Chain A
Amino acid sequence: MTTLEFDSVTKVYHVRGAGQMKALDDVSFTLSSGQTIGLVGQSGSGKSTIAKILTQLETPTSGEIRLDGTPIPRRGKGLRDYRQQLRMVFQDPFASLNPYHSIRHHVERPLRLDNVVPKKEVEDEVRRLLDRVRLDPDSVIDRRPHELSGGQRQRVAIARALASRPRLLVADEPVSMLDVSIRMGVLNLLADLQREEGLGVLYITHDLATARHFSDEILVLNQGKVVESGTADDVILRPQNPYTQELRAASPDPESHFASAPGLSGGAR
Chain B
Amino acid sequence: MTTTATIRMARTEDPTPNTFWARLGSAFAMFRNAKSITGLAILGFFVLIAIFADVLAPFSPTQVDNTARFQPPSAEHWLGTTHIGEDVLSQVIFGTRGVIVVGFLAAILATVIAIVVGVVSGYVRGWKSEGLSALTNVFLVIPGLPLIIIVASMFEEPPLVLIAAVLGITGWAWGARVLRAQTMSLRNRDFIQAARANGEPLRRIITVEMLPNLMALIAASFVGTVTAAILGLTTLSYIGVIPVNTYNWGTILNWASAQGAFRQNQWWWYLPPGLCIAAIGVALSLINFGIDEYVNPRLRSAGERARAMKKKGLNVNDAVTVVRSVEVPATRREARE
**Interface 9-residue window, one of B9-17, B218-226, B271-279, B296-304:** B9-17
Q: Are A147 and B12 in contact, with the CB atoms below 8 A?
A: yes
Q: List 13 A-B contacts (CB under 8 A).
A: A55-B197, A84-B199, A91-B190, A92-B190, A98-B191, A98-B195, A101-B212, A139-B15, A143-B16, A149-B10, A157-B194, A160-B198, A164-B198
B199 A113 Cβ-Cβ under 8 A: yes
Task: Judge if B196 is at the interface, Cβ distance under 8 Å.
Answer: yes
Picked from A84, A88, A144, A181, the residue with its CB within 8 Å of the CB of B194 is: A88
- Chain B hits for A109, CB < 8 A: 195, 198, 200
Which single residue of chain B is at the shortest CB-CB distance from A144?
B16
Report if A104-B193 is in contact (Cβ < 8 Å); known contacts: A98-B213, A113-B200, A114-B199.
Answer: no
Q: Contact between A104 and B197 (Cβ–Cβ < 8 Å)?
A: no
Interface size on A, residues (CB 8 A): 36
B interface, CB within 8 angstroms of A: 7, 10, 12, 15-18, 189-191, 193-200, 209, 212-213
Does A99 interact with chain B (Cβ within 8 Å)? yes
Chain A residues positioned under 8 Å from B193 (CB to CB)? 55, 57, 90
Q: Is A245 an interface residue (CB 8 A)?
A: no
User: Contact check: which of A87, A91, A142 meets B18 at CB < 8 Å?
Assistant: A142
B194→A143 contact, CB < 8 A: no
Digitize A230-269: 1 where CB-to-B-CB distance is under 8 Å, 0 elsewhere.
Answer: 0000000000000000000000000000000000000000
Whether a CB of chain B sits under 8 angstroms from the CB of A96 is: yes
Instruction: Check B194 against A96 for contact (C-beta < 8 Å).
Output: yes
User: Does residue A97 face the partner (Cβ distance < 8 Å to B)?
Assistant: yes
Question: Inside 8 A of A66's CB, which chain B residues have their CB?
Answer: none
- Check A80/B199 contact, CB under 8 A, given A100-B212, A139-B15: yes
Q: Is A102 an interface residue (CB 8 A)?
A: yes
7 closest cross-chain pairs (CB), A and B? A96-B190, A100-B212, A95-B190, A55-B197, A142-B15, A98-B191, A143-B15
What's the least CB distance linking B334 to chain A, in Å? Answer: 15
Known: A142-B15, A142-B17. Contact between A87 and B198, CB under 8 A? yes
- In chain B, what residue has the closest Cβ to A89? B194
Chain B residue with Cβ nearest A141: B15
Residue of B nearest to A143 (CB): B15
A34: min CB distance to chain B, Å: 23
Q: Is the CB of A90 within 8 A of B196?
A: no
Q: Within 8 Å CB of B212, what residues of A? A: 98, 100-101
A149 CA / B7 CA spacing, docked (Å): 13
B18 touches A102 (CB 8 A): yes
